[in-house]
Structure 1
Amino acid sequence: MTSLADVGRMRLVAQRLVASDMPDVTSVVRWMTCMQAQDLPAARIAMAKRAGTRSLADVDATLDSGAVVRTWPMRGTLHVLLAEDVRWMTDLTRERQNRQARRTHEELGITDAVYERAEGAARTALAGDGLLRNELLDVWRAAGLDVEGQRGYHVIGLLATRGVICQGAMTGKQQRLVLIDEWVPQARELERDEAIVEWATRYFRSHGPATLKDFLWWTKLLASEVKPLMPTIMESLECVTVDGTDYFMDPETPERYSRHKAATAKPMLLSAFDELLLGYTDRSANLLPQDFELVVPGKNGVFFPTVAHRGRIVATWKRPAKPGATVAVEPFSTLDPVVDRALPRLSRALPQ
């Protein structure tokens, strides 16, 4: 019988945090569908760990190639996803994202007229190699637009959800904002129902065991849109019931878990905002509810990097100033000696 603890450890296998068969970063993102990425350094670690590389340069090269794009496909939050998926995903979520942000835009004075002026200036300024965020803000200031405080950030997000811009090549530690028509000249186009079926199927395969409620929270799609399509979605998935709740997953996940169960018990370091936590609305399979505020102090939305053991989050960690030094941990209770002994090795293995 599958337990909630099994669900948490099976997710390690499904997300390729254990026994990854992903040959490169692009393959990781294709498998994961979307990975939360408002914290770019954390997202780079999350991608590298699943690709089995210690080189963050491999991640940067993938971003520079345009194969993987960082933009706002859902929840008003930055994610990384395949370039070929950008258009159909943002098409699917655009109306809902814009509706959810409307009140904030009104409070900030981002009217249709302001947006149109910002878009016009951006299309001219970003043509070619694009600009860094601060450079684009300067362009808008020169055009007489008020982009102080959060206004500039929200206008950039609005341009992204409307399919005008995305984040492109790295310049130092930042990405350039680029025109999506130039950076992603060719992308897949899917009909709405086809898009929902594909997105749900890929989510459950890479994140499952997961519930329908998890998927609806993750994408912010409506139950009325997804439920009628569940028979089609289920054609390529397996369902397991745990404590009266149905979880959906890749049919290969149980067998992979059986083969790699011992590895799922080993300690590991996870990046901030990792999909192991951010991929679900119910995180209790990997994080005890009473420990949530230890990972997200004050419930402010900022997820710390974490330490997992036996599939359960047991501590948070901070990277030391000296590369290769052992991370500093804040355990939730007394750490198992197995975790203590593993920390130096895990620290040295962190992608650099």
Structure 2
Amino acid sequence: MPAQRTTPTPRVMGRLRLASQGLLGNGHPTVPDAVRWMTAMQAQDLGSALWAVGQRVPGMAASGVRAALDAGTVVRSWPMRGTLHLLAPADLRWILGITSERLMKMMAARHRELSITSDDISHCRDIAFKTTEVLRAEGRPGATREQLFRAFEEAGQLTKAQRGIHLLGSLCQRAWLVQGPMAGTNGKVGVQQLFVPFDEWIQDSRELGREEGIAELLFRYVRSHGPATVKDFSWWSQVPLAEARKALVEVQDRLVELKFGGGSYWLSPETAALLDDGVPGSRSFLALPGFDEFLLGYQDRNLVLAPEFAELVVPGKNGVFKRIMVSGGEVVGTWARTVSGKTVGVAPEPFAGQLAPAAERSFLAEGRAYLKFMAG
């Protein structure tokens, strides 16, 4: 007899998302593969971003993700929502072509407050190019943020009160600068990246027109994040909803529509097939980083996170997402990194009571994997 089709529930929808994102043992062989599949991964907090990639590339260590940043096979920049993401280098320019104009308009009032003009941004571009050229002649591959800020100040461009970071972000939004290799100090791995000229670091960029690019961005978002709604995509990408809906018409023949909770969710045919074959992950347990795409990558997070627990993940709605524990497709708590003397560990913070014994064992296994990953 044919297998009975799985009835969608919030937990099933969550597990479908885990499968789409490569989090159910179906990850990717390399860091660039994982990042390109996700299209853009939230990376404001670098340590969280490293573990987010590590969860999607079995056997990877943090040093391997850093190596991809050093080699330029993965880049980190501000493609949308004014926050840092990891992307495939070939994707950054065309995505900026879709998103940067709207973001710059949104930042216009703040730039007026900071007395930032288009001439100031062009001036800082010239300063940044000259600074990186001098550093390169000295054998250094790029400039730190502090070096650029110092050069800006020496040229009369103030950097106080966030003016410097807005200038720097504007240079990246215009594809003049991009973050390149990690900044090491005295043989130690640094915690920031060097800034380098965009065209020198990324020499192979795809070129897509706006309509074609939005359609591709939507298709790839649904493929890696589905089931998701067109409103989820519009929030995630900051593409206006009218354009997102128009793009959906172009790609919906390659996607599957799933009706749930009175709305239309979209997912790839491969993910939709799991409803017939049996959706995996009912006993899965993951310790995901803060800001992970599993939770952050959607406008509506109620499918996987009960609304009454939302402020335990984002205290005070301050925009800072805590690390999350995900059991069977549902967020069941947060977790923390602990330090006692020279000993580093992890501690679960379940929403309700204590973890069941099996979940406790799974969490401890995840914790060991996390500590091994970060040390590697």
* TM-score w.r.t. length of structure 1: 0.96
Q: What SS class does the counterpart of residue 29 from structure 2 fall into?
A: coil
CA distance in 2, matches of 1:121, 1:336: 55
1:324 to partner: Cα distance: 8.2
Q: What SS class does the counterpart of residue 273 from structure 1 fall into?
A: coil
CA distance in 2, matches of 1:178, 1:196: 27
Return the letter of the residue paired with 2:35: V
Please tell me whether the aligned partners of residues 13 and 264 of structure 1 are also in contact (alpha carbons under 8 angstroms): no
Q: What SS class does the counterpart of residue 116 from structure 2 fall into?
A: coil
Return the letter of the residue paired with 1:15: Q
The reply on whether 1:156 has 2:176 as its aligned counterpart is no
The reply on whether 1:142 has 2:142 as its aligned counterpart is no
Q: Which residue of 2 aligns with 1:331?
A: 350
CA distance in 2, matches of 1:88, 1:148: 31
Q: Which residue of 1 aligns with 2:211?
A: 193
Q: What SS class does the counterpart of residue 138 from structure 1 fall into?
A: helix
Please tell me whether the aligned partners of residues 324 and 347 of structure 1 are also in contact (alpha carbons under 8 angstroms): no
1:149 to partner: Cα distance: 2.5
Instruction: Give matches, 1:1-352, under 5 Å.
Output: 1-127=7-133, 128=136, 129-171=141-183, 172-256=190-274, 261-321=279-339, 326-337=345-356, 338-350=358-370, 351-352=373-374
CA distance in 1, matches of 2:293, 2:278: 20
CA distance in 1, matches of 2:274, 2:59: 21
1:111 to partner: Cα distance: 1.9
CA distance in 2, matches of 1:316, 1:137: 37
Equivalences, count: 352
Quote the RMSD (CA, aligned, Å): 1.7
Please tell me whether the aligned partners of residues 64 and 170 of structure 1 are also in contact (alpha carbons under 8 angstroms): yes
Please tell me whether the aligned partners of residues 334 and 348 of structure 2 are also in contact (alpha carbons under 8 angstroms): yes
1:274 to partner: Cα distance: 0.1
Please tell me whether the aligned partners of residues 314 and 335 of structure 1 are also in contact (alpha carbons under 8 angstroms): no
CA distance in 2, matches of 1:262, 1:206: 16
1:346 to partner: Cα distance: 1.2
Return the letter of the residue paired with 2:166: H
1:257 to partner: Cα distance: 6.3
Please tell me whether the aligned partners of residues 15 and 280 of structure 2 are also in contact (alpha carbons under 8 angstroms): no
1:114 to partner: Cα distance: 2.1
Unaligned runs of 5+ in 1: none
Return the letter of the residue paired with 2:368: R
CA distance in 1, matches of 2:209, 2:284: 43
Return the letter of the residue paired with 1:201: F
Please tell me whether the aligned partners of residues 19 and 260 of structure 1 are also in contact (alpha carbons under 8 angstroms): no
1:264 to partner: Cα distance: 4.3
1:4 to partner: Cα distance: 2.3
Please tell me whether the aligned partners of residues 218 and 247 of structure 2 are also in contact (alpha carbons under 8 angstroms): no
- Identify if the C-alpha distance between structure 1 residues 262 and 251 changes in structure 2 by more than 3 Å, giving closer, same or farther: closer
Please tell me whether the aligned partners of residues 18 and 264 of structure 1 are also in contact (alpha carbons under 8 angstroms): no
CA distance in 1, matches of 2:365, 2:203: 43
Q: More deviation in 310-319 or 8-17?
A: 310-319
- Identify if the C-alpha distance between structure 1 residues 260 and 66 changes in structure 2 by more than 3 Å, giving closer, same or farther: farther
1:320 to partner: Cα distance: 2.4
Q: What SS class does the counterpart of residue 193 from structure 1 fall into?
A: helix
Runs of 4+ in 1 over 4 A off after TM superposition: 256-260, 322-326
Offset from partner CA, 1:288-341 (integer Å, 9 cap, x none): 111111001110100011111121111111112379854112221113312222
> Quick check: which has more Rg, 1 or 2?
2
CA distance in 1, matches of 2:344, 2:16: 30
Please tell me whether the aligned partners of residues 4 and 285 of structure 1 are also in contact (alpha carbons under 8 angstroms): yes
Unaligned runs of 5+ in 2: 1-6, 184-189
Return the letter of the residue paired with 2:156: G
Return the letter of the residue paired with 2:51: I
